[in-house]
Structure 1
Amino acid sequence: MKTARLAAPLLLLLAACPRLDPMWDQPKVKAYKASKHYPDGLAMRTPPAGTVPHRAPIEPAVATGRGPDGRPLPVSPVAVTAELLARGRARFDVNCAACHGVLGDGESQVALNMSLRKPPSLHQFRELADGFIYQVISEGFGLMPSYAGQLSVQDRWAVVAYVRALQLSQYATVEQVPPEARERLQKEGR
C-alpha cells in the first residue's frame, strides 16, 4: 500500500517532466527552418535530379480557381467533355443534390427541413465566375461546409461544369437547342 502511495506522485512528477522522449533531442532539420548542416543554411533540399514526383503538379489556377491576379477565373480551366459532365452529375447527385435539389433549384427534402437558412437555388448564380463556384465548393460558404475532403480537384471542376449545364438547361431558349434536338422536341409536343 505504501508503494502505491509513493508511485502515484512519482508518476505525476515524471509525466510533468518535459521532453523525456529522446526523439525530441535527436539531431534533425525541420522544414522551413535554418540549418547549420548545409552550407547554404537551408533545411529543405532540392530533390535530386531524375526524382519522380508522387503525383503531377497541379497548376495554381486549376487548384485554387483563381487567376494570377487573385480573382476567380471567369471560365473553367478544365475542358468540358461528355465524360466530365457525367462525372460532375454523379458527384453532384451524391454531394450536392440532397440540399440544392436534383435540378439545383434549392428544392429538396433536406432544404424543406432546414429552419435556419435554406440552400439557395444555384440558378441565381449564373453571372458568377466559374472560379467562384469552384471556391465555394472548395472552401465552403455560409452554412455550406467545404467539400474539398470529399471531392478531388477534378471532381470539383466537374461539378462546376454540371452546375453550368443545369443552369443552361433551366434557362435555355428554343433557339439555343440544336436543330435535330429541336425537331425531336417538336414531334414530342414539348
Structure 2
Amino acid sequence: MLNEQLIKPSPKLILASNSPRRRQLLRDLGLAYEVRLREVAEDFPPHLVRGEVAEYLARHKASAYLPDLAPDELVITADTIVCLDDDVLNKPADAAEAVAMLTRLQGRAHEVFTGVCLRTGDGREVVFSDQTTVHFSPLNRAEIEHYVATYHPFDKAGAYGAQDWIGMVAITRIEGSYFNVMGLPVHRVWSELAALGALPAQHSS
C-alpha cells in the first residue's frame, strides 16, 4: 500500500493595497486573495536611492500587518516610485505638484521601481524590486493640464498612469515590464510565490 504524502496547503494571500490596478493584476493571474488595509507612513531614510527606496517602503508596509498575520497567511505589500535621475517623484499632493512632475518628465526617460515584500505568517520573507525605463515624448502645457484635470492622478507615483490617456500619447518606449509601471511586477511575484509554495495546487509542480 502506497503511503499518502501529506501536502501542505498553500497560504491564504493577503493583498495590502488599495490600488485597483494591483487588485486587477492579481485577479488576472488567477489568484484568490483578501484585501486588508492599514495606514502606513511612506517616509524613507534619506540615504536610500532608487530601488532601495521601493524595497524599504514595501518591507515597512509589511511590518504593519505582522501582529495580525496568521501562520497560514501571506501578505503582499508593494510600493511604486518614479525616479528622474536620483530624484524620487512620489504621489503628488495636488494638481500644481502633478503638473510640475509631468513637466519635468516630458521629453525625457525615467525609471519606475516597484518594491515588493512577501511575508508569511510563519516568518519567511522575500523582498525584491523591479526596474522599468519609460521614455516620454515632449508634451505641451495644455496637454499636461488636460491630463491632470481629467484623470486626477494624485494616487499615482510620478503623477501618471501608463494605462491612461497620457500613456497612449506620451510613452514612446518601455524597457522592462509594463506591469511593473502599473504597480506590480507580476512575473516576479508569480515566481517568488512559487518558490514559497504559495501558488494554488493546480499551478504547483
Q: Relative contact order, CA 8 A, sep 6+: which one is greater?
A: 2
Q: Do both proteins adopt the same fold according to a TM-score greater than 0.5, normalized to the shorter chain?
A: no
What TM-score results when the alignment is normalised by the length of structure 1? 0.26
What TM-score results when the alignment is normalised by the length of structure 2? 0.25
| Larger strand proportion of the pair | 2
Which protein is bigger by CA-based radius of gyration? 1
| Larger helix proportion of the pair | 1
